[in-house]
Copies of this chain bind each other. A is one copy, B any other.
């Protein structure tokens, strides 16, 4: 009897340990991919005529094995929590998983999977039925510069809908190979804002997410180099997007009420734009910003000399935030150290255990927003 009980307990324990839940990123009714309590993901695809199927996720490829019906299944090692792009490799061709939602990243629509954190840790980016919710509005507008329709995502806070107040605006940029949908779909920015505002940590604000013209690989457009990659976004932002937002929404339209932040290449763009337009922006943040300072750089000459007069800069810019993950090497720590050495006020934040990925950026946004528009 005791032996049977022990066996039963052991079985139950292993079932708990390996209980698999469909990923939150799946399309309706799909059981695969699923994730176990240790963060192992199991993938499945029907491919009777294929000779080799793998899953490519978190910089590693895992083989899938075929059953007698031609259905391939395979399980990864435990994966880091958070959101990861992935692809299936069918006879060497990168394909999306038909069971998964797709996300614009890596310059194409690609599969993505959420490896869940503990609910209490994930609470800040999780929908909470108990707090009021803002809206994410998709706005189409005509660009005279591009002679084309463009799309802008605009988050309005919960109280916006019924009130008459005007709000400050954060311009928030995605990274290379992504577009205006990234912060909403991969980043859960609406939940982060809703929760932070409801907790009284952040002031109600409007967040504008537009396409930074960097949704494809380096130099893919004629004449574009690493130096001017995505720079066609800057006149758009200054001359068309900001005026469009200020015409369309109830917005406080001055530098004290205008912030800019961005992830990865969007961080690069943030410094390019905000530091050379200090009459327009008073708050700024880079999240794993692609800003690499060479050894020996004279910081006082960067960005048209924005950092040359520290006292003046510190009076003008009320919050300068640079964050990154502990597992990446994007130089935000070194950059902030250099700024401190010349007397510039700047805040460094390190996301523990994460690399160049959306969990780093969700955390950065959550750390950044409580400090802006308060003076």
Contacts and interface: CB of A to CB of B under 8 A. Distances in A.
A55 interface: no
As for how many copies of this chain the complex holds, the number is 2
Nearest to A47: B93
B95 A93 contact: yes
Interface stretch (A99-107, A113-121, A313-321): A99-107
Contact of A133 (B90, B96, B141, B215): B141
B90 A27 contact: no
Contacts of A140: 127, 133, 190
Interface in A197-244: 215-216, 220-221
A179 interface: yes
A21 interface: no
A107 B99 CA distance: 9
A91 interface: yes
For chain A, the bracket of interface size reads 35 or more
A139 interface: yes
A29 interface: yes
Contact of A139 (B135, B141, B215): B135
Contacts of A95: 90, 93, 95-96
A178 to B, nearest CB: 11
A370 to B, nearest CB: 22
A94 B129 CA distance: 38
A92 interface: yes
Interface in A20-42: 27-29
A110 to B, nearest CB: 8
A248 interface: yes
Contact of A107 (B27, B179, B215): B27
A59 interface: no
A261 B286 CA distance: 46
A309 B190 CA distance: 49
Interface string A134-163: 011111111000000100000000000100
Contacts of A45: 93
A329 interface: no
A72 to B, nearest CB: 10
8 contacts: A27-B108, A28-B107, A90-B95, A91-B91, A98-B109, A109-B109, A133-B140, A161-B248
